[in-house]
Structure 1
Amino acid sequence: MLEKQREELRDDVAYLKSQSMRKNFVFTNIQEDNFSGNVTAEITETKLRKHLQETLKIAKDVADTLRFERVHRSPGQPVPGKIRNIVAKFTYFKDRKMVRRQWKHLSGTGCQMYEQFPPEVLEKRRKLVPKMKDAKKQGKRSWIVYDTLYVDGKPVKQ
């Protein structure tokens, strides 16, 4: 009984972590000219807005009006030859949703963007990806939401 309660508490904590990351997006492969590791958040935000305009084809006036609570590079010191990701916390969920819809413009650019999840949820999602691909090969519609796999609109037990 205690083991079950412990697992439920872990799931609750992971859910709460994911809710705090709900408005976050991670952007990869946006050039970094930071060899010292102390570039300001404003400069990082400017680079992100430029990326949104040039790569995601969002109009300049729209990109300039997007509101962020925080924009920063992934923690740690810069490593030569490696580009740290940018984590952006949108103030408004609808802005994040609008940016997310532009994902098709990223193909062939070497850049990616994805939702941020806590490590516990990422691990569950990694295990679900092969099952999702198998379902797609069988001609079924499948997708992952949070930590649940859906096949033809029905959740699949792990």
Structure 2
Amino acid sequence: MQKLTDNKVNDELETIREANEKLQSSVTDLQARSVRDNLVFSGIPEHAWEDTERLLQDFIQRRFRLGYDISFERVHMVGKWSEFNEYPRNIVAKFSFFKDREFIRTNAARRFSGTKVWVNEQFPQEIEERRKKLYPVMRQARKDKKRTKLVRDILYIDGEVYTPPAGSTPLTSTAQQNPASQDTPRENNERQPLKRQRQGSTPDRPR
């Protein structure tokens, strides 16, 4: 009788644990969706009391020479300014149009060459932690001349999803748990950069 009771309790605890994991996965997925249009710019020189959006806009214009202003929903610095800061603060920018965001992201490495500025996508902390575990694997694969692509917290090597070796801590992807959450093309409010003019209003830090 006692054994049956213990088994029932264990089953109920397992059910609760699985429900909590699904709930946490859903919360993380919602957080990832909320920052999907964001990019984090690191290393742009700043001064006290500067308008952050104008600072970012001017920097992008100098490097890309677009001929029009990128439209942002919000732009803000992370943390408080201090003249004793070792590095400029990160700038988080939410783009009005996803295609503008992707245009800047995919061309940033070439356009920002020769500067100490770099750009990263923004993710919830839980996904960032999983991505950090994949960075060494991705770097080694690139050294081995293999094609790599890191999509959120899923690493593709030569077109195949990377699976951690047996015995290592599994990397449970929220994108794998929620297939509908993976990025899909959006048709509304999207347009290619450089089509027409318009007016508008983070791996390791290099040493």
Q: What TM-score comes out, normalization by structure 1 length?
A: 0.85
Task: Measure the CA separation in 1 of the matches of 2:154 and 2:19.
Answer: 21
2:102 aligns to what?
Answer: 97
Inter-partner Cα distance in structure 1 for 2:84 and 2:111: 25
Q: Report how far residue 132 of structure 1 moved.
A: 1.2
In 1, are the aligned partners of 2:53 and 2:75 still within 8 Å (CA)? yes
Tell me the equivalent position of 2:198: none
Following the alignment from structure 2 to structure 1, what is the Cα–Cα distance between the partners of residues 27 and 163?
Answer: 21
Aligned counterparts, 1:6-155, within 5 A: 6-34=20-48, 39=49, 43-54=51-62, 56-59=63-66, 61-62=67-68, 64=69, 66-74=70-78, 76-82=79-85, 83-103=88-108, 104-155=110-161
Question: For structure 1, which segment, 24-33 or 131-140, has the greater mean C-alpha deviation from structure 2 after superposition?
Answer: 131-140
SS at match of 1:102: helix
Segments of 5+ residues of structure 1 without an aligned counterpart are none
- Structure 1 vs Structure 2 CA RMSD: 1.6
SS in 2 for 1:96: helix
Cα shift at 1:14:
1.2
* CA displacement 1:76-128 (0-9 Å, x = unmatched): 32132322111110011011112123211222200011111111111000000
1:101 aligned counterpart, secondary structure: helix
Identity of aligned residues (%): 39
In 2: Cα distance, 1:105 partner to 1:6 partner: 44
Taking structure 2 as the reference length, what is the TM-score of the superposition? 0.66
Distance 1:72 1:123 in 2: 23
- 1:156 lines up with 2:162 in the alignment: yes
Structure number, greater radius of gyration: 2
Cα deviation code 1:63-84 (max 9, x no counterpart): x2x211001111x321323221
